[in-house]
Structure formats: C-alpha cells, structure tokens
Structure 1
Amino acid sequence: MTKLKVLVAGTGFAGKGHTAAFRAAGTEVVGMVGRTEHVVREVAADLNILYAGTDWEAALAELRPDIVSIATPGGAHYLQIKQAISQGCHVFCDKPMTTQGDTATELFELAQAKGVKTAFAASFQYTPSVQHAKRLISEGAIGEPTELECISHFNLERGIPFGWSHRAEDGGGRLNNNFTHSLAIAQTLIEGQIQQITGDLRDDLGRAPKVEGVHDFTKRRSMIPENLDDPALEWGESNVEWSYTVMARLRSQLAAQSVSVLFKHSALLPRFHDDHIMVYGTTGAIYLKGHYGSGPLSLHDGAGWKVLPTPADILARAQESLGETEQCWHVLADIFVRDIQGHPVSDYPTFAQGSLYQNIIDSLRNSDAWTNIEEGAK
C-alpha cells in the first residue's frame, strides 16, 4: 500500500511531535512549513524532512499531501486549514481549532462539503488512566455518574515572555489551551453530551515582558528576564483569561439525571493539594491524579480507596518512552490514519467537536450570567 503523504505546518514542539506521531502511524512526512526560513530549514533537516518552506499554499500545490498536520498557534489555523480543505486534504489540527466560533464552524462545514476527514487534537483523553477510568465507569464501577470535577493550578511565573498565549487573536488563553482538553476528558469519561454551560473568567496577569528569540514555547520559561524591574524592558498586554471557573451540565447515557461538572483552573496560582479529576457516582468514585488525570487511578467502591493498576491492553497503546502529550498525539494520529485508510476505528474528536468548543469559548468570554444582589435589598 502506498504511504499517505503528510505536510506539517509548524516547527516548534507540536510540529516535531506531530511529525513523530504520523511517522509512527505509517505515513510519509513529505514537508514542513514554518514562518522563519532558517528555522524551518534547520528543523526539517534535523527531522530528515526533505521539503522545507515558508509558503503554505505553494507547499500544498507542490507536494499534494493526503493529510496536513496543523501544529501552529491558533491564530494561523484558519487560512492554513481553509487552503488545505480546498485541495482535498484530510486535516489533523491541534487545539484551538481557530480563534473564533464562526470561523471554526465555517471550516467544519467546508470539510463536510468537501468530504475530507478531520481530527481535533483535544487529545489528553487518550492517556491510559483516563481510558481506564472510562472503562470502569462504563462497566458500572461507581454506579450512575452524578458529579465530575477538574481542578488544576499551575503556578506559572508571571515573567514568562510575551507571545501567542497572551493574545486572543493568536489563539491564546486558558480556555483555548487547557479547557479544551478538560472538557474533552469529561465528555469521554461519562460518555456525555454538553447540555448547558456557564462560567467566570479572569485575566490576573495583565502584561508580560517582550523577549527576542522565543521560538519553542516549551523553553520559554528559561528566557524569563533576570530583572523584571529593568526600565529598558518592553511589555506586551494580555487580553485573555489566565484563570477560569466553569460549570456545566452533561447528559450521560450512563445516568438518569444530568451530571454536574466543575472546571476550576488557574495558570498563575499555586496548588496546595494535587491537581486532579474526580468522578462521583451513586455507589462509588474515581480519583485521577494530575491536571489531565494522567496519574494513578484510585477507586472508592464503598469500602474505601484503592489504587488500581492500568490494564495491559490499555498500556499497550501508549509508548512509555514519550511524554504524555506525545503519547496522546501518537494514539490520535494512528486512529486518524487508520480511518482514512478505511479501517474500522472508535469515535475520535473531529472538527464537529472543535467547532462546538470554539463556540462555547466565545460564549464563555462574552457571557454576563450573574444575578445582581444588592446588600440590604428587600
């Protein structure tokens, strides 16, 4: 069988990770496109990718890929994806899908009309522990699910250099880059459909120092200026949320009543107890350690808590040598490729989910769902 050809957009951590994931899935990565010529040439050479360029449309025309892998910041996604769909390419896109709900909806509809397959990489739902919990819940280990909570505090340094993560128009914000994963995990765990949602957001950062030479966001913490009081520093203004509290109701086929869900996250505040995901049911509960629930799984079955090992068949899907982000990209890329090849696969996140999430994010950012209470009012 001729290998499917993949063109990657992006030269940073995600671009490198997507490249490895698609190679592991049996495809041929034929090209890479980036913003800066010397960077894309260096990265492509390091990864043994023959084609390197800065013109996305020209690369599509020359290479005629079967799949494009979008691993750039969210602000670049719309045009890249639209051009790829027009060429008939299947699209694998990291989150956020775009920067606004209307553009995400447009791309979803264009992909449907063109008949191409899409994948939306809200992919932490594929950690072994989350998949283990999903299995236990579906088997009735906690009875009917009733409540779910996702709690995380990252305690990031406020001096992290200014970049795309600070700006809504570039795909920044914690809803785009944290909530998308947590919401996908919640839906996965209880096989849930979103009924209602509301929330409160806060930009508790305000500004960040501008630093030249930041390319790979995973290394940005090493580039924090030593003296943040230096009068020569330039500053960029944040216009996105760095903390959020979101409440939702999900309909689950495993429960007679709607499941109440709480998402609580701050990028800047310190944690006291472990970040975690909890799922409560009518007869028990499941605790997953870690902000995306990728740590040990504990089950309360009415008699007390016990740590359960991950089943061997679930562990077999993950490559232990990789970090959890890369593990999840590998799983989703493999499912996506097999679906394109016509093999039966389980459901996976597509642009239908990605566009829904982008519209939800718009709604949360624009909402004013407070009830005003005046002290002393009769």
Structure 2
Amino acid sequence: MEGEPVTTLKVLICGTGFAGRGHAEAFRAAGAEVVGIVGRTDAVVAQVAEEMGIPFAGTDWEAALETCRADIVSIATPGGAHYAPIRQALERGCHVFCDKPMTAEGDTAVDLCRRAEAAGVKTAYAASFRYTPSVLHAQRLVAEGAIGAPTEVECISHFNLERGIPFGWSHRREDGGGRLNNNFTHTLSIACAVVGETILTVTGQVRDDLGRAPKVAGVHNFATRRAFIPEDLDDPALEWGESNVEWSYTVLAQLQSPLAERPVSVLFKHGGLVPRFHEDHIVFYGTEGALYLEGHYGSGQLHHYRDGRWQALPLPADISDSLPDVTGETEQCWHHLARIFVQDIQGHTVDPYPTFHEGSLYQQIIDIIRTSGSGTDVTALG
C-alpha cells in the first residue's frame, strides 16, 4: 500500500508483433520486469526475445505461465486469439492487460469479465487513445465547464486504407477484425472519457465495401503489412481471401453525462476505405461552447469555441510534463495505461481506467451494431 516498499512486478507477453513489442516496452517503462514472451513461431519469438533482452521465449502459453510465474500477463495478439490465454492466466490468478478488441464476440468477453471478477484480479482494457494529450486536455476543459453542459459529440474519420493490404486477421470477424473492433473501440472510449462513461442507447449500420484481399506469405508484424502489398493486383496467379467484416460504419449513441441533465448525442462515422477531404476530427459541443480536436483520435491541435470565435489552446504544462517519453501516439497511450495499471496493482491511488467491464460492454455493443439491420423500410410511404 501507500508508503510500503514497491515490489517489482513480473510480466509475461503474449504476442510478438507490433503490439507485443509495444506492450513490453510500456511495462518496462512502468518499472515492471518483462520475464517472458510467447509467439506462434519458434524462430520469430526467439528473435524478438533476443532483440529485446527478454529471458524466456516460447510457443507454449501454458508452459510459459508455469515457468515464468508472472504477476501480469499482457495480451497483444489479434482479438480472436484472446479468449483461451486470458482464461488460462485468470485461472492462475494473474492480472491481465489486454489490447482491444477484448475478444471476437460479446459472450466470450462477458465470460472473461466474470471470471476476472471471481478471481479478484485487476484488468486493463487498452482502448487507450483516450490518453492522447488533447483528449486529456478536453477531459479537463469539459469538467471545468468550458463548453457548458455537453450536448453532442461528433467523431469523423476516413482512413483510405489500401485495398491490396494482404489478407489476414483484420479481414475476418472470427479473428477480431473489422473497423468496429479496431477503430470504434477507441473513439467510444474517448467520448466516454470526456463526457461520461454510461452508455444509454446505440444503433448503427455497417458495410463491407472491400470484399476480398490478396493472400501473401511472410506478413508477421501488423505495422509493416503495407510492405507486402502485391505490385500487380491483377496478377492471375494471386490467391484471394474473402472479407466477412465491416470496413465502414455509422453509429448513433446516447451517453449519460454527470455534467448534463439530458443524454448526450454521439455520432461515430468511419470510412476505412474512403479518402478524406477535410481533417478527421472529434468535436465536443455544449450549451456554451465547443472543443474541436484535430485527428481521427483527437490527438492533434485542440480548438475552443466560445463567445463567437475559435481559439487554438496550448497543451497545459502539467499534461505535457506527464506524457510518456516515447515516439508514436499508439506507444505513448500504451505507456500511459501500463503505468496506471502497474501503480494500481502496487496499491497506489489512481484515476479510473478501462477494465474488462468496458471491454465486455464494448464487445456486446459491437455485436448489437453488426446485427441491428439497415433501418426502417420507408419505400411504401406516400
């Protein structure tokens, strides 16, 4: 507890790609010891462990749990591969840090949440772009009344992803793919962090406007997948995989805010394959003003509207000074959440952070959006 000697926590990483490496660095920066890493391929996991100076490397997760006896496991694989290793870790009483999506469907996420509660362990759910500097700034400003009572939130993004990105987990619903799992999880977390965590209603539409993607060998790290796009997508020798998940979505939600008497309306609009013309953005509107955050996760410049004009606001020094010293906004947000998680496990007082409660709730909401249909048929109306 507070004032007692701090124990160095041991961490076991599941996954050797971009997220696995990022989680390992985040926990080291938080003062934990990374004692092992597990991957699918012997040669790959051995190479990553050597490069990162991690003492244990293997492909057998249960054996790694037994050998490493970690306090924390960090799950950094695609969402479809989360359920079994998390369940096994919970059975051993490990705290769990899990990247989004929590699992590939709502019922398995709920099951893990209940198991974690029964085990009495702490969990963290890394829908972590709520920790970008401008979002932290917006959270403070809204709490201070800078926009009055929140009324509306708008999250708009267009990624223009290459259609030739090699076929993989991101194209398959059962593997945790889709833009709801890998974009909406972050923007929903951001909206909740700023205006209120209670989600009242949700409805939406999704669209798979990709159809298929080329099958290419050798892709391992999600961050470098673009390097494997075939030069000739019309090559008759190419093999193709079929997408079965959404690449665009439109979601309407209502959040309950402690700062407003009425529900806050939220629009989430994302086009994974379409180009942007204006800047992607997140806007928080209120009865007395608005906050406009540049960028699809609100990580750019923050602008405040009040008394008839917009003004760019500098980042407060204390927020700037608290930012993890690491390159990349994804990595910065992992570092922020890992630091809070470690401190919480060590008994320090910390601000609330996303846990398996949010992870399981978000996964159930994604299931609802995917099955909510295409709207009310009005073709017979006069």
- Shorter-chain TM range is over 0.9
Q: Residue 82 of structure 1 is aligned with which of 78, 87, 103?
A: 87
Opposite residue 171 of structure 1, the aligned amino acid is G
Instruction: Summarize the Cα distance change of 1:330–1:233 in structure 2 as closer, same or farther, 3 Å threshold.
Output: same
State the match for 1:350 in structure 2.
Answer: 355
**1:125 Cα deviation from its structure 2 partner:** 0.2
Mapped to 1, the partners of 2:176 and 2:366 lie a distance apart of 11
Task: Render the CA deviation track for 1:142-180: whole Å, top value 9, x for unaligned.
Answer: 111111000000011100000000001110000000000
Matching of residues 29-68 of structure 1 within 5 Å: 29-68=34-73
State the match for 2:3 in structure 1.
Answer: none
Mapped to 2, the partners of 1:335 and 1:110 lie a distance apart of 22
The alignment status of 1:8 with 2:13, answered yes or no, reads yes
The alignment status of 1:326 with 2:331, answered yes or no, reads yes
Opposite residue 378 of structure 2, the aligned amino acid is I
Do the aligned residues in 2 keep the contact of 1:34 with 1:53 (CA within 8 Å)?
Answer: yes
Opposite residue 90 of structure 1, the aligned amino acid is H
Instruction: Summarize the Cα distance change of 1:5–1:192 in structure 2 as closer, same or farther, 3 Å threshold.
Output: closer
**1:369 Cα deviation from its structure 2 partner:** 5.8
Mapped to 2, the partners of 1:143 and 1:313 lie a distance apart of 23
Q: Residue 256 of structure 1 is aligned with which of 237, 253, 261?
A: 261
Mapped to 2, the partners of 1:237 and 1:55 lie a distance apart of 30
Unpaired runs of 5+ in structure 1? none
State the match for 2:289 in structure 1.
Answer: 284
Task: Render the CA deviation track for 1:19-56: whole Å, top value 9, x for unaligned.
Answer: 00000110100000000110000001000001000000
Mapped to 1, the partners of 2:136 and 2:25 lie a distance apart of 22
Mapped to 2, the partners of 1:371 and 1:225 lie a distance apart of 41
Opposite residue 162 of structure 2, the aligned amino acid is E
Task: Render the CA deviation track for 1:333-361: whole Å, top value 9, x for unaligned.
Answer: 01000100111000000000000000001
Matching of residues 85-234 of structure 1 within 5 Å: 85-234=90-239
Do the aligned residues in 1 keep the contact of 2:196 with 2:255 (CA within 8 Å)?
Answer: no
Opposite residue 95 of structure 1, the aligned amino acid is K
Secondary structure at the aligned position of 1:130 is classed as helix
Mapped to 1, the partners of 2:324 and 2:355 lie a distance apart of 23
Mapped to 1, the partners of 2:70 and 2:222 lie a distance apart of 27
**1:319 Cα deviation from its structure 2 partner:** 2.8
Secondary structure at the aligned position of 2:21 is classed as helix
**Superposition RMSD on alpha carbons, in Å?**
0.9
**1:320 Cα deviation from its structure 2 partner:** 4.7
Opposite residue 234 of structure 2, the aligned amino acid is D
**1:191 Cα deviation from its structure 2 partner:** 2.1
Instruction: Summarize the Cα distance change of 1:138–1:115 in structure 2 as closer, same or farther, 3 Å threshold.
Output: same
Opposite residue 252 of structure 2, the aligned amino acid is M
TM-score normalised over the length of structure 1 = 0.98
Task: Render the CA deviation track for 1:61-117: whole Å, top value 9, x for unaligned.
Answer: 111100000001111100010000000000000000000100000000000001010
Deviation beyond 6 Å, 4+ runs, structure 1:
none
Do the aligned residues in 2 keep the contact of 1:192 with 1:253 (CA within 8 Å)?
Answer: no
**1:303 Cα deviation from its structure 2 partner:** 3.1
Do the aligned residues in 2 keep the contact of 1:5 with 1:65 (CA within 8 Å)?
Answer: yes
Q: How many aligned positions are there? A: 377
TM-score normalised over the length of structure 2 = 0.97
Mapped to 2, the partners of 1:310 and 1:214 lie a distance apart of 38
Mapped to 2, the partners of 1:323 and 1:147 lie a distance apart of 29
